[in-house]
Every structure is written in C-alpha cells, then in structure tokens.
Structure 1
Amino acid sequence: MNHLLSKYRKPLSTWGFYFFSTFVSINVYSSPTLNILNWDDYLSEETIAGWESLMGAKVQVITYDDEDARDLLLTDTTQNLIDLAIVDSPSATKLAKLGYVVNLKDAAHRSDIEPNWLQRCGDNGVPYLWGTLGIAYREDKIDQPINAWADLFSGREDLEGHIGMLGDYYSMTAPALIHLNLSPNTDKEDDLKAMFELLRKQTNSVLTYVYAPSYLLNSANKDELYAAVVYSGDQFLMNDTIGKEVWRYVLPDEPSIVWLDCWVIPFNSEKQSLALSFIEYIGQANIAAKNSEEVGVATVNRKARSFQSKEMTEDELIYPREEGFDKLVSVEMLSDANIRQRIRIQEAIKVIHESK
C-alpha cells in the first residue's frame, strides 16, 4: 500500500492564516488548482494524478490533524481558500444545517453507495471511506498484547507514560465512556462526571494527546509512544513514519466506534464544478476500489469491493465481520450543551496532564 503523497501535500499547520490569505494570489500553477482539505495520507497519489490528467487541472492537498482548526477554516466566510474537504459525518450534517456547504444529492454514483452511509452524510455530503476507532501498539515494545480499552485505563506498568490519546472532545471521551459500559454519545451529567474522573486518573499514564501519526512525525520523544487511540488505517502511516513495521492495529474486545468521512464542498468555493468533478471521478467503482486499497481504509462503494484484492476484503480490521460489526456504535451529532461540556472536560484533562 502506498502512503507517500509528498508531491501534493502541505500541512495546514505550516501555512498559517496569513499564508492562507495570500495563497490564491501566489499560486504557481497556470492551470486551475483544486484545493482539498484532508487528513494526511488519505488520498492516493494515483487517484490525484488520474484526475489531473483527465481534467487538465492541479490538486493541492492541505492536510490537517485537528478537527477544530478544520472547522474554523470551513466556517470562515471571509475567505474562499478550500474547494473540497473531508469531514466526519456529524460535522457534515452540522455544516449543512448552518449553510456552509452545498447540496450534493445529484452527484453521480451516489446509487453505488450503501444507503446507510448516504443517510449519515446527508444531501450535502458524499460518503468517502469508513472505519473504526481502535488501538495501535508497538509489538516490539510491549510483551503483553493489547486487546481492550481496559488496557489503556487500568494503570498497566508497561504503559505508564507511554499512552497516546486523541485530543478532540469526542475521540478523547468515547473510549472512556465505553470502558465504563456507558454510551459514547451520552449526555447524562453523571455519566460525564464518571468519565472525567476516569480520564483524570489516566493522565499519569498518558504521554500525549496529540494525534499519534503527527506525534511520531514531529516529536523528539516519538520512541516513547507505545500505544495510542487511532483511526483504522493510521497504523500504515505510523509504520511508514518510523520506517519499521512494528505498529499493530487492534479493534478492542469491547464495543467501539464506527466512523464515516464525507466529501463536502464549501458554499463560498469558486470552483464548485471542479470539486464536483473530483467527487464524481473518485466515485467510479474501479477508482474508488484502488484508492481505498492504497489508503488501507474501507470503501463505501458497493460495486468497488469486487475490484479489490482478497487480502483487502478479507481483512477483518478493515471490513469487520457481522458479529464484529454488531459491537460498533455510530458517532452521533451531539447537542450543543453536550459538546460544550465535553470541551470543558477535554481542556481540563489537558491542563491536569500538563501540570504533572
């Protein structure tokens, strides 16, 4: 699987908002440029090259690892820097509700997508890839395998100071709630208090709340990260980053989260037709299949799976069997009050961790 996209990639963190504001005027391409906001290594180089050749246009991928920064950019109506973006399904729903993204219900190839995925992205989003929330751990650092959320919250000696948690308000809190046998989407005050206490106790074992692939790329302490909450497929990027096949992804024995990412087109993009052509290009079954396999994440396209290798389709960490799928919980759009409470918890946990 190929995870090298350096030809097209520019991290969001390296641009700065001043640089963003001048991007259009300094663009060196003479042909039209489609600016795509995306996670790192989440779009194959071959897919990009194929569309560029077909359309006579260029792609600039702007990567992010912080959903708050992403949403800030997509809701900034004073700029039109992003033409196409990948967001999680609850964010797609919320952005549509607030009027920040265009209607895509007539996009080609939607009929090839599983109806449940279409429903979750809504009329203003087109489903892209889906996966699970799980744990990646270094097999060369840990003698006892990790197979449960409990391993991250039980105070295991071999993980003391070596755990990576996700820092956003949902992905930080969901594993803790599941470990407590509570719904990851709960809004009950007592549930959130119990979750906060668990996360507070865990801070002694946590190395970082930075997204694990980014931490491995940027931190001088990257060799101290032994286990991390990640999205399925991240393990490939993590292994590429350190140059060794030592990171293993596991889906915990307890329930976990199934996530879905959607394409959205900002309403203030001046290249909406170009953006739609990219969505429709990658929506072709053969293109969707190859892109999915190169990224190492499951496709939403029903026809595409017939084009994929047996190794891909029979990998239960990519396409969980029915009994495994029954344990997966969908991410729901939380109430504003619930989000505010989780953000307060998220910020408090980080302050507690930094004070140690």
Structure 2
Amino acid sequence: MNHLLFRCCKPLSAWGFCLFSTFVSIHAYSAPTLNILNWDDYLSEEAIAGWESLEGVKVQVIAYDNEDVRDLLLTDLTQNHIDLAIVDSQSATKLAKLGYVINLKETVSLSGIEPEWLQKCGDSGVPYLWGTLGIAYREDKVHQPVNAWADLFSERDDLKGHIGMLGDYYSIMVPALIHLNLSPNTDKEVDLKATFELLKKQSDSVLTYEYAPSFLSNSTKKDDLYAAVVYSGDQFLMNETVGKEVWRYVLPEEQSIVWLDCWVVPTNSEKQSLALSFIEYISQAKVAAKNSEEIGVATVSHAAHGLQSKTMAEDALIYPRMESPDKFLPVEMLSDANIQQRIRIQEAVKVIHESK
C-alpha cells in the first residue's frame, strides 16, 4: 500500500533516474511488448515464456521494490507504458475508486479462485498470490531464534543495529501494533502515538527500513542484516541473493496479517486485450500451480493448489492453517485521516533514524 494514492505526488525528480531508466528500457523493445509492473522475481520465467509463445508477444517486466514509484507510474495519466500491474488488494480498490484501473468483472474468464480472494480484489482486480507477514533471520548470525515480534523490540544484543523493518506506512507499524496488543488497523490516536514511541525507541536497533531483498542486493552493509520483517516467500529470494541457505522465515508467535496481491489493468494502457489474455493464462490451474511453486508463494486457486507437489501444498509457512481466526488478521481499508497520521509517523521515524 502506498501514500501516493492519498496525497500529492512527490516531485518526479525524486525518482528521475529510476523512471528515466525504466522508460528507456521499455522503448528499447521494437517488437510488440506487454509491459508488466511487478515485484522482482514474482513471476516465473516458464510462465512468461509460455504466454509469449502462445501470443507471439514479448513480456517486459518492470520491477519495483518501492510502492511510491509503483503508484507514481500507475497514476501518471501522461504516459501509457504500463499495461498490467501487481498491487495489493487495498491499492486495487483505491485505484479503482480513483478511476486509474479498468473494471475486470466479466471481462476475464476465471475459475477455481477462492471466492474470498475475488471479493477482496474487487471488480477491478484479479487475485494472484497471497501470503503472510513474518520475520526472516540469519540462522548463522543470531545467538537464538527470532520467533516473535517482541524480539524486534527487545534490545537483544545480537540484534542491535542488525534489524530490517519494512518502510511503508502500514507495514512499518504492524509489528509494533501487534506487540502492543493493538489492532494493525486501529484509527485511535492514542494507539498510533504509543506505536510511534515504540518505533522511535526501536530505531536505535534498526539497520534499514528498505525492503530486505533489495537491501541485500544493493547495500554494502548487507552482511550486517540479521533479522528483517518480510513477506512470506521473500526468504527464497534473499537466500538466492546471498548465495547460501542462511535465511529462515518464521511466523511470529503473536498474531500476523494476511496479504493479497491482485492484477490490475491501467485505464490508459493501449494493450488491454493482451493484458486480459495474460491474466487468463496465468490464472489457469496448471500454469498457476507451477508459477506459485516456482516463486514459493501461495496460490489463490484451490484447483492449482491441488496440482502442487506435496512438499509445497503441505508447507505450513506457505499455506498456514487458518483454523484460528485470531491468529491471522485481515488488512483493512483505512480512512484518509488514519493514513495521513501513519505517514507522519513513518516519516518521523525515518528522520530520527537517519539523524543518528
């Protein structure tokens, strides 16, 4: 989720080089191309190749790790470079209300997707993958397992200066709110103030607020990251990045949240028919099963789930049991006032951290 949907965009110059490089890479393709805005390594090469062979069209994946940039591209009506995008279910709903994505109801043929996922993505989104928010930690670096949100706020000596937090206005607050026995979706000012105080205190122990897989790829301090708040599935990319199986993903002992990603098609895309074709293809049970297993993230299709290997289908970290309704909390739409307050907290915490 991202605050650019709820306030004026930052100046383009803030991401000028990134956006310029993106557009140059797009225009470098002279053949018909479907441009997909997506997280890095969140779509299997086999799935891409299968659709390319079927349609005779190339796929260009434009990878993002910053939701600000994602939403800047999706809400910029002066360009039509993005044909298809992955966003979280809350952003799918917000983008639809603001008129930035098309209505997909009855335009794509879907079967086998769980009704609850269809409802969460709404009429303008098609469910893709789902997962949980948890902790990844380096088993070769810490003195003992990092099994709880409480560990991230405990001032453990082996974690001090080695913690990674997610930097967006929602995810940065979830571990702290749950640690304080508060709802991740609370709009009470007293709750948000208490969370700010906890995050401010924790900032002494935080190494980065950058998305952990990106930090490991880009930072010279990557070996100093020992534990990080991540999305389920990120641990596979993190292990691949460092070249060894040292990152372990755990669901915290306390509560966590369940997230859902959805496909959306921008209203200003000139290749909407191709985008719809890709959605239908990637949603086919056989394709969805292989794609999900390759990435290591749960499929939304019960038909696809039934086609997966026993190892994948029965992995409790990928498909956690949902018998206890209190263990996993939904991500809810927040009011604009709540979002603005969270943005202020997010930015203040980062300023405090950077000043140290």
Q: TM-score range by the shorter chain?
A: over 0.9
Matched with 1:6 is none
Matched with 2:209 is 209
CA apart distance, 1:326: 4.4
Q: Unpaired segments of 5 or more residues in structure 1?
A: 1-12
Matched with 2:19 is 17
Query: How far apart, CA to CA, are the structure 1 residues paired with 2:330 and 2:126?
Result: 17
Kept after mapping to 1: 8 A contact 2:22/2:62: no
Kept after mapping to 1: 8 A contact 2:159/2:205: yes
User: Which AA in structure 2 matches 1:99?
Assistant: G
Kept after mapping to 2: 8 A contact 1:164/1:210: yes
User: Which AA in structure 2 matches 1:224?
Assistant: D
Query: How far apart, CA to CA, are the structure 1 residues paired with 2:294 and 2:30?
Result: 27
User: Quick check: 1:27 aligned with 2:28?
Assistant: yes
CA apart distance, 1:105: 1.2
Query: How far apart, CA to CA, are the structure 1 residues paired with 2:203 and 2:60?
Result: 38
Query: How far apart, CA to CA, are the structure 1 residues paired with 2:135 and 2:109?
Result: 33
Query: How far apart, CA to CA, are the structure 2 residues paired with 1:306 and 1:344?
Result: 44
Matched with 1:8 is none
Greater displacement, 331-340 / 198-207? 331-340
SS in 1 for 2:172: helix
Query: How far apart, CA to CA, are the structure 2 residues paired with 1:64 and 1:184?
Result: 25
Kindly report structure 1 stretches of 4+ aligned residues shifted beyond 4 Å.
19-24
CA gap 1:324/1:227 in 2 versus in 1, 3 angstroms: farther
Query: How far apart, CA to CA, are the structure 1 residues paired with 2:325 and 2:65?
Result: 26
Matched with 1:120 is 120
Query: How far apart, CA to CA, are the structure 2 residues paired with 1:137 and 1:14?
Result: 34
User: Which AA in structure 2 matches 1:104?
Assistant: L
CA apart distance, 1:106: 1.5
SS in 2 for 1:244: coil
CA gap 1:247/1:325 in 2 versus in 1, 3 angstroms: farther
CA apart distance, 1:123: 0.4
User: Which AA in structure 2 matches 1:65?
Assistant: D
CA gap 1:239/1:324 in 2 versus in 1, 3 angstroms: farther
Kept after mapping to 2: 8 A contact 1:20/1:81: no
Query: How far apart, CA to CA, are the structure 2 residues paired with 1:191 and 1:60?
Result: 43
Q: Please list the CA deviations of residues 208-246 of structure 1 after superposition, one character each: whole Å capped at 9, or x if unmatched.
A: 000000000000010000000000000000000000100
Matched with 1:314 is 314
Kept after mapping to 2: 8 A contact 1:177/1:184: yes
CA apart distance, 1:190: 0.1
CA gap 1:42/1:21 in 2 versus in 1, 3 angstroms: closer
Instruction: Give the alignment's TM-score, normalised by structure 1.
Output: 0.93
CA apart distance, 1:14: 9.4
Greater displacement, 188-197 / 13-22? 13-22
1:195-206 aligned at under 5 Å gives the runs 195-206=195-206
1:85-164 aligned at under 5 Å gives the runs 85-164=85-164
CA RMSD of aligned residues (A): 1.4
SS in 2 for 1:157: coil
Query: How far apart, CA to CA, are the structure 2 residues paired with 1:216 and 1:21?
Result: 25
Kept after mapping to 2: 8 A contact 1:200/1:349: yes
Matched with 1:232 is 232
Query: How far apart, CA to CA, are the structure 1 residues paired with 2:285 and 2:122?
Result: 20
User: Which AA in structure 1 matches 2:96?
Assistant: A
Identity over aligned pairs, percent: 76
Number of equivalenced pairs: 342
Query: How far apart, CA to CA, are the structure 1 residues paired with 2:231 and 2:325?
Result: 16
CA gap 1:323/1:60 in 2 versus in 1, 3 angstroms: same
Kept after mapping to 1: 8 A contact 2:133/2:230: yes
Kept after mapping to 2: 8 A contact 1:109/1:284: no
Kept after mapping to 2: 8 A contact 1:107/1:280: no
Matched with 2:301 is 301
CA gap 1:19/1:159 in 2 versus in 1, 3 angstroms: closer
Q: Please list the CA deviations of residues 39-93 of structure 1 after superposition, one character each: whole Å capped at 9, or x if unmatched.
A: 0110000000000000000000001111111111100011111000000000000
User: Which AA in structure 1 matches 2:267?
Assistant: F
User: Which AA in structure 1 matches 2:181?
Assistant: N
User: Which AA in structure 2 matches 1:191?
Assistant: D
Query: How far apart, CA to CA, are the structure 2 residues paired with 1:177 and 1:88?
Result: 20
